Amino acid sequence: MTPSLSRLREQFPALAQPGLIYLDNAATTQKPVAVLDAMNHFYRRHNANVHRGAHRLSDLATRDFEGARDIVANFLNASAREEVIFTRGTTEAMNLLARSLGSHLLQPGDEILIDTWAHHACIVPWQQMAIQTGAKLVPIPLTPAGDLDLDAYESLLSPRTKVVSLTQISNALGKQAPLHQMLPAAKAMGAITIVDGAQAVAHLPVDVQALGCDFYAFSGHKCYGPTGIGVLWGRQQLLQQMPPYQYGGEMIDTVSFEGSRFNRLPYKFEAGTPAIAEAIGLGAALSFIQSLDTNAVANHEQALMNRAKAGLAGLDGVAAIAADGDNLGALSFRVDGEHHQDIGILLDQAGIAVRCGHHCCQPLMQALGLKGSCRVSFALYNTEAEVDAFVAALQEITEFLND
């Protein structure tokens, strides 16, 4: 870790707890002081509802809330701030798309292509919409190495393909999808393209215009922001065509018992009082990320990944899963003859926090022939010493279990 990154670690109060090595960042990242201060300042000084007040506090709250939307738009290189929809996270964004876009778009016999890496939050909403509309959910298979099978993907694309939903980075494997190949192929068939960027935004710069997708979603809590807030970015033309996802306050223009007229973008999709403090916290988190030396962060995180891979390779009876490629952020592993949950508990007793289970991607586990796995995942504040401590603890555990 470079001196500048070492000083950044001091901005994360949770990491100061004695005996804690936090390697569960793909589940949620810790929060820097900048985020904590931004949310605390709102509640202490500017707490009021947004958009509809006739007083100073409401004006200040609205300014900060909409300022966060501007930060998100800049972070994603959106063509307009109206394309940024605040959601509770990637899960709600995917449900919004499936219900609003799916009900508007899908007909019996249509197909929805989705990758085998996909999180349940991406699979289940489209699965349910397929049942309702008579469409078909079609998985994109994997190669033996755990990558998306591009030949199979291209053979699955057809005029029946109406939606293609892709995971930018697998939350279980850290594998990266070749979006630069997959998105144009889908667009050539006239399909709507969706990218789950939940695992990407903390590790990669995101430019939705350069990606060329139609929709992009991510969660604040996976990129140093608070829980309960996320983003759906979409092309204005498509968002304008889609019906609202929820109904109530804020998303309306006028209401009478005879009928209602809906609000303009982005508010058409933001029913009810929004997560104001959380949006402000998200803005602070993205500003924090943008203040960093992205090359230094990327090099540091890659060094952590390489060190972890090398460490696991030196342990008898331990195997990294699909770890022969460009894994980023997350690395799964198994211990021969041991249940993943037992390994996680023993690592926790050594002060090391990892994730164990199916990682909300049971179809992926089934494709890999696994019931689950253990996963370590890294953030910019992790250190090589922490990786070494993890490997050493795992070695002690395996030796103990084999005695």
C-alpha R_g of the chain: 22
CB 18 within 8 A of CB 401: no
CB atoms within 10 A of CB 54: 6
Length of the chain in terms of residues written? 403
Beta strands in 76-229 (DSSP E): 84-87, 111-115, 136-140, 161-167, 192-196, 215-219
Query: Residue type at 365?
Result: M
Q: Which helix (H) or strand (E) holds 21?
A: strand 21-22
Q: Long-range contacts for 333-341 (Cβ within 8 Å, ≥24 apart)?
A: 333/373, 333/374, 333/375, 333/376, 334/370, 334/373, 334/374, 335/374, 335/394, 335/397, 335/398, 335/401, 338/401, 340/371, 340/372, 340/373, 340/374, 341/372
Token pair in block for residue 230: 């996320």
Beta strand segments in 220-370, E = 230-234, 252-256, 259-262, 318-320, 330-335, 352-353, 355-357
* Count of beta carbons in the 10 Å neighbourhood of residue 97: 28
Q: Where are the beta strands (DSSP E) in 148-289?
A: 161-167, 192-196, 215-219, 230-234, 252-256, 259-262
Cα separation, 185 vs 187, whole angstroms = 6
Chain centre distance of CA 91: 9
Burial of 256 (0-12, 13-18, 19+ CB in 10 A): exposed
Q: Rounded to whole angstroms, how far apart are CA atoms 283 and 277?
A: 10
| Catalytic site residue from 223, 356, 360, 374 | 360
360 included as an active-site residue = yes
Distance CA 386, CA 232 (A): 34
Distance of alpha carbon 120 from alpha carbon 8, whole angstroms: 33
Give catalytic residues, as residue numbers. Answer: 360
